[in-house]
Amino acid sequence: MRCGYEKPVMKCYDSHIHCFYHGSFEHAFMNFQKIEGFLGGCLLIFEEAPGDFADVRNMVPVAYHGKVTEEAINPAGIVIPAIMKNRFPEFIPYIDTRYFRPEHVQSFGDYAAVGFRGVKVLYVPEYDEILNIAGWEKSFGRSLAQSEKMISDLMARCLEFNLPVLFHADLRRYGEFVSSLLSAYPGLKMNVPHFGSSRKEMARLLERHENCYTDFSSLLPFMMEAPDAYLGFIKEFSNRVLFGSDALLSTPGVLREYMEFIDTFLEGDVRERVVIHNYLRFHGIEIKQDDK
């Protein structure tokens, strides 16, 4: 009989962390270094954000308006060098393109050269009453057709530079457009977070497209309320579900809550795929012996 046995700490990568922080980035980074079992994740960084906070907030959910600080606006010059210097946890910098215009897509190579290794799209071409976001039509005067064209061009650039995409979209409204992108660019890896706001629509997308993934960021309360339904979905698509928390750099406790829940919610090979292996495969990173 083994005495004093302690369950090993679950290790994980988080596919969905926002680069919102107060004070110094180094201090925020250190708070994530202290999270036992956290190996790294995707860090979503605003770039090309307008200087006026009112314009910035137009494209941010109302619930997050109080969390958008000056440090969160166009911080790549500080954040990316710090990430390169401090290799653990290993953050992958994603450029958040919600403020992009067509000219930014045309000069996309500049962002890859800076060190961005992934792309975040918040697809809100029209007003989103659920998130309470103004959308591109109101904020930029861009029609739905123009938004579709710009995003299609952006996906082509992502494929050109071999960058994975975190593509936030409500599949109940824009599922066919997202499906058309996945078909047009089959070599592009795309993670549609929050289960696409619909497990039913997300399942259809996953069944159609092998290059499509998803994550459960922001869904912890729903998973706790309906564990059987969510567990069934995750098991069915366990090869393409990623761990995601939707934490901010200023809220490391959110990541801890997700880790504690998933550690007991999932088990065995399913858990290992969700918390480590799918993330590595999505980013084209070799699975090391320590990760098995």
Single-letter amino acid, residue 133: I
Residue 162's DSSP bridge partners are: none
SS3 state at 258: helix
**Among the listed residues 243, 251, 209, the one whose alpha carbon sits nearest the alpha carbon of residue 223:** 243
Per-residue pLDDT of the chain (292 residues; tens, 9 = 90+): 455 557 788 999 999 999 999 999 999 999 999 999 999 999 999 999 998 888 899 999 998 898 888 899 999 999 999 999 988 999 999 999 999 999 999 999 999 999 999 999 999 999 999 999 999 999 999 999 999 999 999 999 999 999 999 999 999 999 999 999 999 999 999 999 999 999 999 999 999 999 999 999 999 999 999 999 999 999 999 999 999 999 999 999 999 999 999 999 999 999 999 999 999 999 999 876 555 5
**215 forms bridges with which residues in the sheet?**
242
Spell out the residues 6+ positions from residue 198 whose beta carbon is closer than 8 angstroms to its own. 170, 171, 172
- Confirm whether pTM is higher than 0.85: yes
Cα dist from 239 to 183, 192, 209, 221, 232, whole Å: 20, 14, 13, 23, 13
Report yes or no: 71 and 25 within 8 Å, Cβ to Cβ.
Answer: yes
- Give the DSSP H or E segment for 230: helix 227-236
What's the DSSP call for residue 65? Answer: G
> What is the residue extent of each domain of the chain?
12-283
Q: Please, which residues have CB within 8 angstroms of residue 27's CB and are 6 or more apart in sequence?
A: 21
**12-283: CATH topology:** TIM Barrel (3.20.20)
Tokens 């403020």 found at:
99
What is the spatial distance between Cα 37 and Cα 252, in angstroms, rounded to a whole number?
13
Distance from C-alpha of 9 to C-alpha of 28, rounded to nearest angstrom: 22
